[in-house]
Amino acid sequence: MVTHRLRFGMEILVAALIVLAAVLALRPAQPTATHYTLDGGQIVYDGQMLKGKFSGRGTLKQRNGDRYVGEFQAGRFNGAGTFSSHAGWQYQGHFKNGAVTGQGTLTTKQGKKMRGYFKNGQYHAASTH
């Protein structure tokens, strides 16, 4: 009788540990804040990282002066952000899978603004807003 109770108690404990391990293993990963230097210091990233890739809000700076501040997903520009080029132009708007795609504003070095819809880096039409 005592052996039966002990065995039953051990089975309950093992089952509880298995459930706990499964819950911990299957929970969604959480982004972590990180500082990352790539290519011998040519590229510096400060922001969120998830599963080894830039994901969430962050800032990517290149030694040549290019800078991106905005959203990342799976290591690519994705969502709202601002890319400032060392050549003097700037794009502020939406990105998708690393490309300028969506509503945004391109400001040239001379200050000319092009507002509207962009797809894969190409300007398509003036904004209707």
**Residue 116 CA, distance from chain mean position:** 24
> pLDDT tens across 32-43, in order?
899 999 999 999
In a domain, 6, yes or no: no
Query: Which pLDDT value is given to residue 15?
Result: 85
> pLDDT tens across 57-115, in order?
999 999 999 999 999 999 999 999 999 999 999 999 999 999 999 999 999 999 999 99
Domain of residue 107, residue span:
32-126
Asked whether 55 and 31 are in contact (CB, 8 A), the reply is yes
Give the CATH number of the domain where residue 93 resides.
2.20.110.10
Number of domains forming the structure of the chain: 1
Phi, psi (rounded to 5 degrees) for 34: -145, 160
In a domain, 25, yes or no: no
Query: Which pLDDT value is given to residue 74?
Result: 93
In a domain, 116, yes or no: yes
pTM, two decimal places: 0.74
In a domain, 44, yes or no: yes
Query: Which pLDDT value is given to residue 71?
Result: 97
In a domain, 17, yes or no: no
